[in-house]
């Protein structure tokens, strides 16, 4: 991986982590709402899981492989 790839991965990681936090807040607010939209809640949770998977992938790409 080149330094340029590393910089791009780190920038995407920061963006995805922020979006994940934002979704967390939106889900919490929606759950507290008396008129919950369960379909919207389900979609937000699904998107949050997709973000978590992408974040894990990027973190794995950034972390160097150490052969013991």
What is the tens place of the pLDDT at every residue in 15-62? 999 999 999 999 999 999 898 899 999 999 999 999 999 999 999 999
Q: Is 50 within a domain?
A: yes
Q: Is 49 within a domain?
A: yes
d(CA 35, CA 30): 8
**Bigger pLDDT: 1 or 59?**
59
Token pair belonging to 20: 């994940």
CA end-to-end span of the chain: 20
Q: Is 18 within a domain?
A: yes
Q: What total of structural domains would you count in the chain?
A: 1
Distances (CA, A) of 35 to 18, 30, 32, 60, 62: 26, 8, 9, 40, 42
**Domain range holding 34?**
3-59
d(CA 51, CA 41): 15
pTM of the model: 0.85
């Amino acid at each position: 991986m080149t330094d340029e790839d590393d910089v791009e991965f780190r920038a995407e990681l920061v963006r995805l982590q922020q979006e994940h936090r934002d979704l967390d807040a939106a889900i919490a607010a929606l759950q507290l709402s008396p008129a919950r939209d369960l379909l919207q809640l389900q979609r937000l949770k699904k998107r949050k899981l997709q973000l978590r998977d992408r974040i894990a992938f990027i973190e794995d790409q950034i972390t160097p492989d150490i052969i013991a």
